Amino acid sequence: MHASCQAGTPIPGILYGTAWKKGDTERLVRTAIAHGFRGIDTACQPRHYDEAGVGAGVAACLGGTLTRADLYLQTKFTPVSGQDPARIPYDPRAPLGEQIAQSLAVSLENLRTDYLDCLILHSPLPTERQTLEAWRALESLVDTRAVHRLGISNCYRLERLEALCRAARVKPAVLQNRFYADTGYDRELRAFCLREHILYQSFWTLSANPQLLGHAVIRSLAARYARTAAQILLRYLTESGVAPLVGTRSEAHMREDLEIFRFALTASDRRAIDPILEA
């Protein structure tokens, strides 16, 4: 169920997303890991994430047979524009590189770890120059081995990702985007990621796409495989080189999400689904 095997812990083919969990974060992370999730996504952004709750949930699961090396933990540096002004987890007056270093220190403390499997730039900055300045600071953290991989999120313009890849010394290993019809399901970006060995991680995969889950082709396959429509869509994506993020609060759905690796679609099944994501 692993989508990538770069340096460090492999990136799982599905990750548990922790946005919007608030006071339930610790319990839900603990539950997700207990059911078998080995990849956890969070952010150093108190507006939408309880990163310390993620760390507490992870810590509660370690010991015995499960070690830190068995888990893939990724978090994000969120620029000032994406933060709650009353709860910025670093000094917003500091130079950008220092903001990133401070954010990393907070994340390591919150997550109770001495390294991150991946650190993601939560969004491009307003200019290409600023984005590259941030990326250089992120690269320096890889040099210290405090971070094993880098990624970028909410990057919906192919030319922006291409420019970053050209300029980067440490290439992005992850692109994490909202997966929905308004961007054409990022078809060009996903094709570029496949060519460049960048893992495309999808978020809002189910909640933003009721029309996909209700489509006759998906429903027909769900009936044939005795699976849910969500399982069919998630399995299709994993077989297409995408690692979905799921953020369910339901234990039943956690189990169903992980069970997508217990069956496989045929090539003709995938061909039947392809046009639905091209409409």
- As a whole-number percent, the residues of the chain with pLDDT over 90 amount to 96
Domain count, the chain: 1
Q: What CA–CA distance (Å, rounded) separates 146 from 172? A: 16
pLDDT tens profile 199-218 = 999 999 999 999 999 999 99
CATH of residue 39's domain is: 3.20.20.100
Q: What CA–CA distance (Å, rounded) separates 29 from 36? A: 11
Residue 243 lies in a domain: no
Residues in the chain: 279
Q: Which residues contact 118 (CB under 8 A, 6 or more apart)?
A: 11, 72, 73, 74, 75, 147, 148, 149, 150, 151, 173, 174
Residue 259 lies in a domain: no
pLDDT bucket at 279, cuts 50 / 70 / 90: low
Residue 256 lies in a domain: no
Residue 41 lies in a domain: yes
Looking at the chain, list the stretches that DSSP marks H as alpha helix, in order from N- to C-terminal side: 25-35, 51-61, 96-111, 128-143, 158-167, 187-196, 210-213, 216-225, 229-239, 251-258, 267-273
**Residue 5 pLDDT > 90, yes or no?**
no
Query: What does the pLDDT read at residue 109?
Result: 98
What tokens does 212 get?
């996909």
Residue 132 lies in a domain: yes
What tokens does 208 get?
């933003």
Please give the average per-residue pLDDT across 178-204, as a whole number: 97
pLDDT tens profile 266-277 = 999 999 999 999
Residue 216 lies in a domain: no
Please give the average per-residue pLDDT across 2-10, as a whole number: 59
Query: What does the pLDDT read at residue 7?
Result: 62
Residue 199 lies in a domain: yes
Residue 85 lies in a domain: yes
Domain that holds residue 125: 9-209
Q: For the purposes of burial, counting CB atoms within 10 Å of the CB of 42, is it exposed (0-12), middle (13-18) or buried (19 or more)? A: buried
